[in-house]
Structure 1
């Protein structure tokens, strides 16, 4: 019985913590530029963000933004009847080109400050 109560308390704690861990897209958009400028997040050739240094909100921002990007890339691919990987590659190239000096981009699998 004691084990069951402990398990119940654990599950309740996890259930309460999950919403706090999830970040909405609007909040992620607001924080994106900051985490990029801090060198915590960078653009990749695959069209997605990746965490450079897992500090603060960086992982949650990456997860929220990448989820939205994934959905948008799929819509574009379907609309133009092309593979989603082609959309990802074009988006990644554009994102890296638009990245300002001083922020991180991934080149040949390595993080480089642009």
Structure 2
């Protein structure tokens, strides 16, 4: 299991050094709130963002933020010696609970405006 976690962390690290056309994390953080308010991006119970509706940079924002989340979830899982899926599930639940009214969350496979 530890080997699998190391492999996941390595894959995340490789993903962070994608070609220059990929959006960096800081730019994604700056665009995230606007993308959520526009209904382009929403929170899923998996602990990750997903595209609700294609629009300006929505996929790039999702990819950059999810890459950072994946790395953090992996770090937490390794620290506590628990499966990363457990961390993802808890994070997803918290993210959905914290999502403000008017933004989208994925509930039972359907995007719902909270």
Please classify the TM superposition score into its range, dividing by the shorter chain length.
0.7 to 0.9
Residues 15-59 of structure 1, C-alpha deviation per residue, up to 9 Å, x if partnerless?
A: xxx523x00000000100000000000000000000001110100
Structure-1-length-normalised TM-score: 0.83
Alignment partner of 1:19 is 2:20: yes
Q: Which position in structure 2 is the counterpart of 1:107?
A: 107
Gaps of 5+ in 1: 1-17
Gaps of 5+ in 2: 1-18
Structure-2-length-normalised TM-score: 0.83
Q: Which position in structure 1 is the counterpart of 2:92?
A: 92
User: What is the aligned-residue RMSD (CA, Å)?
Assistant: 0.7
Q: Which position in structure 1 is the counterpart of 2:74?
A: 74
**1: CA distance, partners of 2:75 / 2:103:** 28
Residues 86-105 of structure 1, C-alpha deviation per residue, up to 9 Å, x if partnerless?
A: 00000000000000000000
Count of matched residue pairs: 96
The ranges of structure 1 where at least 4 consecutive aligned residues each deviate by more than 2 angstroms after the TM superposition are none
